[in-house]
Amino acid sequence: MTTSTVEPTEQPRRLVAAANGDRDLTSLVFLVLLWGCLAFGIFSLAVLLFNTAMEGAGRLDAQLFTNYTSQLRPESAGARAAIFGSLLVMLTTAALSIPLGVAAASYLEEFASRENKFAQLVELNVQNLAAVPAIIYGMLAAGFAVLIGLPRNTVLAGAIALALLILPVIIVSTREALRAVPREIRQGSLALGASPMQTLLRQTLPAAIPGIATGTILALSRAVGEAAPLLLLGGLVFVRFDPNGLLSGFTTMPIQIFDWAGRPQVAFQELAAAASIVLLGLLLAMNALAIIIRNKFSSQR
Amino acid sequence: MHSGPSPEVAGGAPVAPISTNISVEGSHERAEHLVDSPHAVMTCTDVSVYYGKFRAVNECTMPIARHEITALIGPSGCGKSTILRALNRMNDLIPGTRVTGQVAFHEIDIYGKDVDPIEVRRRIGMVFQKPNPFPKSIYDNIAYGPRVTGMKVASMDDLVEESLRGAALWDEVKDKLKQSAYGLSGGQQQRLCIARTIAVRPEVILMDEPCSALDPIATSRIEDLMVELRKQYTIVIVTHNMQQAARVADRTAFFTAEAAEGSGDRTGHLVEFDKTVKIFGNPADKRTEDYISGRFG
């Protein structure tokens, strides 16, 4: 080594300086500001949760799950129809949006070339749709339902609206998951004489399942919490029966909460708070499931 | 029979006729039964490969002789991997790739109109630089190819065993066939990939720097395996390791990259193709001699 002689004293000194030197006043203020923002967010959420819990705790009983709603007796009314409605709408939404979303994502990611005009159009639309307000999807589904002669306030129409709402999210997260599958897996499969479709179905999609499942569950949990598009469809606010099929009238948890919260009696306010706790619990459970799936599969790698 | 790395190479003592430290001792023995115009399984005629407007390889013409190992060597960016991928249409998967000239496989142009690239890849298998087992069991890794190609298999168990024996992996994995392939070492994974490739009974096996991610012991096992596989298959290997080419290859093609007229893009082309003994012992082209004696590249 004759070409360069490095001054040995220069670098260690710089290292020592870096240890405290970057914490000047400006960065300290900024750090405090960041912590403040975080604290404010968490504090607001905690107050909200605490308030809801205190208000609704009294009505968080078995009747909430077993009884139908009531105009006259809020003290014994329940959210049974809304719970069943939410579950049925969620399942129908999943059945509509998952196959469509995964297929669209697979096409865009695995088959369409970048020059393909149709694929570019679809891609542009997916990006735009993700930013459309939820209520617009309600209008779209209402129009669609009228067009095909479907009553608007049915489980199917509601599920169509919610499926459209979460389709962009499912497509984007599925594409991300497919992109994360190493190219070597695809190449290995194709080099053995597998067709691109076999490669997708037998290698790429199975390897992407954790990512797809996580994204889909999070999207569904968003759908479960939506009230706006369903209200626009004429989702019934007062239902005293279980939904019994895709063409049945229905109500869901958010709609039921909306209805109760709008009534003047204190007993209904408590009911709304109790139902909110149930809805929050459901969403929390779904998010937890998404995390569990992700961790389970990533530890297998 | 030649096998494994030569001790001369390991010791670093120069024994080759020109001023390189690459031993071609083993190749000399093999060279005696090498005919001058062998039966070519594949023939490249004026093959150029383009990525969009960029020409990666220009007009390469060479035969791939049956039951021989052909090595493609040359500095980075000379297009040797590109040519290898052109041989089984793996280039199709990169958008914008275009191949001109003719790549004949048993006299049939594999880029012909009626040719199914899936069938081409089944007959001309490929092993990649980085071992790429599927996230499945060892057994399912081997069985995948025969299953997807709809091979008529009397007993899948027998085929799996035969393929693993063929890749000299059976004894190491026979008790854990149902375990994940990811539990194997890098060298074992690469032999699994070779076993997976021979399970679909290709005629030609293309290997793209198959040892560059492996340690010397795993490398020498793969090299032994290649020499063994040559009896049944035709092998084309891209390698950065000149000693490796000298040890295992019957014939060697030397590629280099030179700037095309009027543009800064470097286009790869075939400089010299001959028996390995000739390439490493008495190359006809000055550039070949410079490269193998370590003067550039």
Q: How far apart are CA A153 and CA B61, in angstroms?
A: 70
Is the Cβ of A112 closer than 8 Å to some Cβ of chain B?
no
Residue B133: its chain A contacts at CB < 8 A?
188
Identify all chain B residues contacting A186, using CB atoms and an 8 Å cutoff: 93
* A191: nearest CB among B119, B125, B182: B125
Helix (H, G, I), strand (E, B) or coil at B51: strand
Candidate from B95, B132, B148 with C-beta closest to A113? B95
SS3 sequence, A136-190? Answer: HHHHHHHHHHHHCCCCCCCHHHHHHHHHHHHHHHHHHHHHHHHHCCCHHHHHHHH
Determine, for residues B118 and A193 on separate chains, whether the beta-carbon distance falls below 8 Å.
yes
Handedness of CA A21, A22, A27, A28 (dihedral sign): negative
Residue B126 neighbours by CB distance under 10 Å: 25
Q: DSSP label at B91?
A: G
**Chain A 198-237, residues with CB within 8 Å of chain B CB atoms:** 198, 202-203, 206-207
- Print pLDDT tens along chain B (297 aa): 444 444 444 444 443 444 455 665 555 455 556 777 778 889 988 888 988 888 888 888 889 988 999 999 988 888 888 899 999 999 888 878 888 888 999 988 999 888 999 999 999 999 999 999 999 999 999 999 999 998 888 899 999 999 999 888 999 999 999 999 999 999 999 999 999 999 999 999 999 999 988 888 889 989 999 998 998 999 999 998 888 998 999 999 998 888 766 666 788 888 888 888 888 888 888 888 888 887 665
- The nearest CA of chain B is from the CA of A191 a distance in Å of 5
Cβ of A182 within 8 Å of Cβ of B149? The answer is no
Is A44:A34 a contact under the CB 8 Å cutoff? Answer: no
Q: What is the pTM of this model?
A: 0.79
Tokens of residue A222, six digits: 């968003």
